[in-house]
Chain A
Amino acid sequence: MKNKNKKKWYILFTVPLLIIFTTVVIIPFLIGIYYSFFEWDGIAANAKEFVGLDNFVQLAGDERFRESAWLTILFTVLSVVTINAIGLAFALLVTSKIKSANAARTMLFMPYLIGGLILGYIWQFVFLDVFTLLGEVTGLDQIFFNWLIDPEFALFGLVFVFTWQMAGYIMIIYIAGLQGIPNDVIEASKIDGASPWQRFIRITLPLLMPALTISLFLTLSSAFKIYDVNLSLTGGGPANATELFAMNIYNEIFGSGNYGLGQAKAIVFFLIVAAITLTQVYITKKREVEM
């Protein structure tokens, strides 16, 4: 009797969410795997033709997909490095005992709240008008010009804007990590005569590993999956020079109407994201030290 009652409550508490979650995530995921073995144009009346692994074979020879894979990797590596370097630098600055630290922390976090799509439009204008103006005024038109219309620079523009969006967010995570470092460890090292640089490398950084694990995970996965900023800042242009993975998949499915092939790309995308983020978490977790 008591057990039966317990079961009733268990069902009552968990089943509503499980139904929604299954409908929205689990079933579409399974359907998605199924679709990736078919050739189909997305029109319900048209037949789906089973092609087995053909879509995946075709991917290997898809020049535009390979190009976008390379761009995505380049973008991710650059973004992860700059976001974490700047985020950590910000965190160290605003945790020092300076009067304006709190105000600065509030301001630096601001871009993260605005949202990728709108940030992209804001920066489109900055690159178009302010960068060109700065180039004219300072004469440094090798540096200040509209990066977004240059195929070689547009990707850096994207890294730039994404860093602007994420650095403040990552800063908050490093701040939480820094605050977790006990003060007496720092004091002890000061008494032992360690220089600020030694202190940072030997004490702060190793104790910051848990924050680094999370920050790397968040920056890696969000850089890989970036879409909004990509769409509003460059739209993938010029000449597909900034068409990253997520956008390439969207275009293949909804732009070209290759539903089966696009879905095969989406599955490969999932496998890559899962493999990379899990590897990163495994590696950095191992380097965390216990206090």
Chain B
Amino acid sequence: MRRTLDFLKAALLLVLALFFLSPIYIIIVNSFKDRQELYDNPLTLPDSFSFQYYVEAMDKMNFLSAFGNSLYITIVSVVLIVILSSMTAWMLVRTDDKLSMVIFMVFIATMLIPFQTLMMPLMQFMSTLTNTLNIPMYNTLEGLIFMNIGFHSSLSVFLYHGFIKSIPITLEEAATIDGASKFGVFWRIIFPMLKPITATVMILNVISIWNDFLLPSLTLIDTDLRTIPLSTFYFFGEFTIQWNLAMAGLTLTIIPVVIFYALAQKHIIKGIGEGAVK
């Protein structure tokens, strides 16, 4: 009796989860259908699997280029965020003076500023840097990476700060007595100990940088610099009526996310949980 009840509960939960994901099923099945078939019934499986719309969408979205841009921006931004914010957080924790306190407080306080408050003056300032000082901030992938680091460092410093505070200082002192430089102490001893929180920092930043739309839309002008969300946006601007083509485009954009999730699923869920509790 108890067993049947447990089985029923398990089945019910699985059905609920499948139902929850049904919009994704709808997108995928309709990406294979022609227009008539799509309007006849958007819920059924397609009569035949033709990848015609995928080929077309890939071409019209310039998918490979967008994918490459997104990958480049996300990887370089996240690596630099991890390096810079862990070093900064460590110094702030280990140098217990007023200045460190103030710097940390400023990092935290700015987390309350919505992006919309900064977007216009930021764009003005970036184009000034580009035009007068010849620093290529505006309309370059590297400029966008620079801005990503600025916007994501608050949360990252905050997470590292909390974690480092719980690490006893004795190990560092021992290494210093043995003659290691600060640089050596950090990279050889501390950084490896930060692994769990580094995973969290990486995951949170990957998700938000990969999916970001507004900042890239303001900074990147050239079509060949477009990221995946940007190319999706422009693609929809042109092809909303052709839903089968649009479905194929959407499925394409979801595939990299699903692969990433499948590979790192355990770390992602654990990382988000730990990041939240800290």
- Which residues on B are within 8 Å of A, measured CB to CB? 6-7, 9-11, 13-14, 16-18, 20-21, 23-24, 26-27, 30, 38-39, 41-43, 84-85, 87-88, 90-92, 95, 103, 106-107, 110, 112-122, 124-125, 129, 146-147, 149-151, 153-154, 157, 182-183, 186, 207, 210-211, 213-214, 229, 232-233, 236, 243, 246-247, 250, 253-254, 257, 260-261, 265, 268-269, 272-274, 276-277
Contacts and interface: CB of A to CB of B under 8 A. Distances in A.
B125 A269 contact: no
A263 B121 contact: yes
Contact of B269 (A14, A93, A106, A277): A106
18 contacts: A20-B84, A21-B154, A29-B113, A32-B117, A98-B13, A100-B13, A106-B265, A121-B246, A121-B250, A122-B27, A125-B27, A129-B39, A130-B42, A173-B276, A180-B277, A214-B277, A266-B118, A278-B112
A41 to B, nearest CB: 12
Contacts, number: 246
B27 A104 contact: no
A273 B26 contact: no
A259 interface: yes
Contact of A17 (B16, B88, B253): B88
A246 B42 contact: no
Contacts of A266: 114, 116-120
A107 B21 contact: yes
Interface in A99-125: 99-101, 103-118, 121-123, 125
B150 A99 contact: no
A197 interface: no
Sort A-B residue pairs by CB-CB distance and give the 4 closest, nearest first: A24-B150, A115-B211, A176-B273, A31-B121
Contacts of B272: 169, 172-173
A209 to B, nearest CB: 13
A93 B272 CA distance: 19
A284 B101 CA distance: 25
A261 B19 CA distance: 45
A253 to B, nearest CB: 5
Given A98-B10, A176-B277, A228-B211, 7 more contacts: A14-B103, A25-B150, A25-B154, A108-B17, A121-B236, A225-B116, A270-B112
